Amino acid sequence: MTDALPPVVDEQTWRTALADLRVREKAATRELDAVAAQRRRLPMVELPDYTLVGPDGPIRLVDVFDGRSQLIVYNHMWSDGAEFQCGGCTGFTSQFTRLDFLDNYDARFVIVTNGPIDQALAYKAKVGNRMDWFSSSDSSFGADVDAPPGGGFALNVFLRDGDTVYRTWHTTGRGVEQLGHTFGLIDSLPRGRREEWQDLPDGWPVTPTYSGWLDSPDIARLYGA
């Protein structure tokens, strides 16, 4: 069976349809700007003086900032004893290979997982991850920022004022999507993700949700050491 194709039209008809879509795209951009403006006005909550574990041993959360005033943390899911950790987490964080641009914004982006640091660093090497990893295995940090042991993933943002750290923002689920480039690129394609939950034109190819995602073994094979 041949998959359906978009209708073929003359260029002017195409440009008119594109202009109609552009109205919605610009409205979405303005709404994202408004959301970001509201995020900048969120209150914040002071955190305890957590101690995590890094490649060189125990490290205070305030020192994970490495002198910067802002810190983004991806709380990577962890299953004790698993050869491969969460495919979604592994795939999302594999996108970030160069984070130097954050230096100009006085910020750092790191991974914190509930797994033991030696296992976490071994997994980082196994899948070719390029981010800086820390462990909250000896701390309640993960649970306190909505990413408890045995629980889901999260993304948290923190602000440092001297030696005091504040939690400013949190998201999870599809809230993390817009922070990576994967789905933005895929959604620009004529057929998009093709996942069964989406609103697709008649005759469009449909695949099970997640079936197109790279899983952790795929990432290890493509990018791992």
Query: Per-residue confidence of the chain (225 residues) as pLDDT tens digits?
Result: 457 899 999 999 999 999 999 999 999 999 999 999 999 999 999 999 999 999 999 999 999 999 999 999 999 999 999 999 999 999 999 999 999 999 999 999 999 999 999 999 999 999 999 999 999 999 999 999 999 999 999 999 999 999 999 999 999 999 999 999 999 999 999 999 999 999 999 999 999 999 999 999 999 999 997
Strand-pairing partners, residue 158, are: 71, 167
Report pLDDT for 2: 59
Tell me the HSE value of 65 on the side-chain side, using a 13 A CA sphere: 23
pLDDT at 3: 75
For residue 165, report the phi and psi dihedrals to the nearest 5 degrees.
-110, 135
Spatial contact of 131 and 99, defined as CB atoms under 8 Å apart: yes
Strand order in the sheet with 133-135: 45-46, 164-171, 154-161, 70-76, 107-113, 133-135, 51-54, 57-60
Residue 101 · residue 196 · CB < 8 Å: no
Whole-angstrom distance, CA of residue 52 vs CA of residue 158:
15
Domains and CATH numbers, the chain: 45-173 (3.40.30.10)
pTM of the model: 0.95
Residues making up the chain, counted from first to last: 225
